[in-house]
Amino acid sequence: MSNDTFKISLYLPAQAAAETEAMVTRWHVKAGDVFSRDQVIAEVESAKSTFEFNAPCAGKVVRLLVEESVSVPFEKAVIEIETDDKSIKSQIPAAGAAPVIESFPSMASTPPASAASGTPAVKDVYLLGIGTYIPETVIPNSTLLADHTDINDDYIFGVTGIRERRWAKPDEMPSDMALKASKLAIERSGLKPEEIDGIILSTTTPDYMMPSTACILQDKLGIRGALAFDLNAACSGWLYALSVAKGLILSGMGSNILVVAAEIQSRLLDKKDRSTYFLFGDGAGATVVSSVKKGHLIRSEIMLADPAGIKMARRETFGNEIPANCVNCDPWLRIDGKALFRFATERFSFIINDLIAKSKWDADEVRWVVPHQANSRILKAAAAKTSVSFDRFYINIDRLGNTSSASIPVALSEIERGIQKKDKLIFCTVGAGVTAAGMSIEW
């Protein structure tokens, strides 16, 4: 070491957010010992894990601050060292957490803040910046009715609540739509792309079997080193992804997670099947889930699935197009409308009532219910089983159709400007599986 040395205390690397303390089971160094960067200086045990404590820099032990086999909180320093590595000064948080250890230098300039720095347990997680993309091409009912001359526009509207929908262009891919929505979400969040620690992309119509559409989006955004994966919970996917993102943040895996939904259902519709042909539109929506900046507070969430309805909505083949060679298979999107209607009505009302109770709200405090745009009749029937009047359910299915997991962020973006601070919102959805999910938000 050079003569320009200084003393500093080190802390144990924090583990899961639920863990508050750990113990050094064995020290590998003692006062006066010289150690190198990344050298194992101690073995540590917490309630849920056993791990090695690696030196974040080269230096010399001044003194050990805790004895072996004594539990200490993560915010308490465990060793004092002397070093000439000035970079360690800026990497030690003032609140007394573990040093940031550089990882994957060829991929990411810095690791996720909460994962590496050992910050105190996160309590609140927020939504930041909503971004959406809707294709330009408008498809009115009249266009689709050319193949069904025995019914008319009023009939379709009466059954589904849909007048028109938007369909992607032939050369548009789900990742293209996801990119446009994500750029807006990141910009409106006030973050930079390099501050994104992870990407979760909900889709039932991915670009390819592999790599994941999330990884393709990651490449298009120019983000390196962040986690990225697809999630398929059908129409419940965006809310599933929000809940998973919150869990990743609470576990210390990142601080800012981009959550995206991108769906192109228009290419999967059998013209002869009236139960699906008039329902679906295409679209994408995105937001950032964060513990770093305050935004719209996530209060409570619900995720569940019931295989009793596993055949109610299904598709046998993969991707966003019908395969050229489909032998002994049904490549189209199929729905058992009557069975799904009953199931969805019950689940929507259950989720809304349960979230109001979990959030400790009164029903009349709910400013908006922003539901998955499944079918207007389903939503009216669900509202009748709750204490929230139907006029507080935001509906845009008449213009956009059912955009699957993208429908909630797209609907949210349309009312965002009119939402006031502290307004209480409920998101709810049902999808193939049968999956269901909900979330309460304080704006």
Given the structure tokens 């939504």, which residue do they identify?
Answer: 127
Residue 188: inside a domain: yes
Instruction: Catalytic residue, from 141, 215, 402, 428: name it.
Output: 402
Instruction: Catalytic residue, from 235, 296, 320, 375: name it.
Output: 235
Q: Is 57 a catalytic residue?
A: no
Burial of 96 (0-12, 13-18, 19+ CB in 10 A): middle
Give the domain-ending residue among 51, 66, 101: 101
Mean pLDDT of 387-392: 92
**Share above pLDDT 90 across residues of the chain, in percent, rounded to a whole number:** 62
The two beta strands, 283-290 and 256-263, are antiparallel
Residue 328: inside a domain: yes
Q: Are residues 137 and 180 in the same domain?
A: yes
Own/partner contacts of 393-398, CB < 8 Å, gap of 24 or more, are 393/368, 393/369, 394/368, 394/369, 394/370, 395/161, 397/160, 397/161, 397/162, 397/373, 398/157, 398/161, 398/162, 398/163, 398/164
Mean pLDDT of 195-224: 95
Domain residues for 78? 6-101
Q: What angle do CA 139, 214, 15 make, to 5 degrees?
A: 140
Q: Are residues 151 and 254 in the same domain?
A: yes
pLDDT above 90: residue 64: yes
Q: Which of 407, 395, 414 is nearest to 237 (CA)?
A: 407
pLDDT at 89: 63
Residue 433: inside a domain: yes
Q: Is 396 a catalytic residue?
A: no
Q: Are residues 145 and 79 in the same domain?
A: no
**What residues does 5 pair with on adjacent strands?**
none
DSSP 195: G
pLDDT above 90: residue 120: no
Q: Are residues 20 and 135 in the same domain?
A: no
Instruction: Catalytic residue, from 141, 372, 375, 428: name it.
Output: 372
Residue 113: inside a domain: no
Q: What angle do CA 296, 298, 300 make, to 5 degrees?
A: 155
Q: Are residues 42 and 136 in the same domain?
A: no
pTM of the model: 0.72
Q: Are residues 137 and 70 in the same domain?
A: no
52: three-class secondary structure by DSSP: strand
Q: Are residues 202 and 318 in the same domain?
A: yes
For residues 296 and 289, give the distance between their C-alpha atoms in angstroms, rounded to a whole number.
9
For residues 170 and 181, give the distance between their C-alpha atoms in angstroms, rounded to a whole number.
19
Q: Are residues 96 and 144 in the same domain?
A: no
Q: Is 152 a catalytic residue?
A: no
Please give the mean pLDDT across all residues of the chain: 87
- Confidence label for 107 from pLDDT (cuts 50, 70 and 90): very low
- Confidence label for 340 from pLDDT (cuts 50, 70 and 90): confident
Residue 349: inside a domain: yes
Q: Are residues 242 and 322 in the same domain?
A: yes
Q: Are residues 191 and 47 in the same domain?
A: no
pLDDT, tens digit, 9 for 90 and up, residues 396-413:
999 999 999 999 999 999
Q: Are residues 26 and 172 in the same domain?
A: no
pLDDT, tens digit, 9 for 90 and up, residues 229-261:
999 999 999 999 999 999 999 999 999 999 999
pLDDT, tens digit, 9 for 90 and up, residues 66-86:
998 888 888 888 999 999 887
Domain holding 391: CATH number?
Answer: 3.40.47.10
Residue 425: inside a domain: yes
Mean pLDDT of 37-45: 91
Strands (E), 212-363: 227-231, 256-263, 283-290, 296-305, 313-314, 334-335
pLDDT above 80: residue 91: no
pLDDT above 60: residue 99: no
* Torsion angle, alpha carbons of 316, 320, 322, 324, to 10: -110
Mean pLDDT of 360-373: 95
* CA-atom Rg of the chain in angstroms: 26
- Confidence label for 166 from pLDDT (cuts 50, 70 and 90): very high
Q: Which of 24-28, 33-37, 177-181, 311-315 has the highest mean pLDDT?
A: 177-181
For residues 103 and 113, give the distance between their C-alpha atoms in angstroms, rounded to a whole number.
12
**In Å, what is the CA distance from 31 to each residue of 53, 59, 294?**
16, 11, 43
Residue 107: inside a domain: no
pLDDT above 70: residue 39: yes
Residue 55: inside a domain: yes
Domain holding 84: CATH number?
Answer: 2.40.50.100
**Share above pLDDT 70 across residues of the chain, in percent, rounded to a whole number:** 88
For residues 279 and 397, give the distance between their C-alpha atoms in angstroms, rounded to a whole number.
9
Number of domains in the chain: 2
20 Cβ neighbours under 8 A, 6+ residues apart: 73, 74, 121
pLDDT at 98: 40
Q: Are residues 133 and 27 in the same domain?
A: no
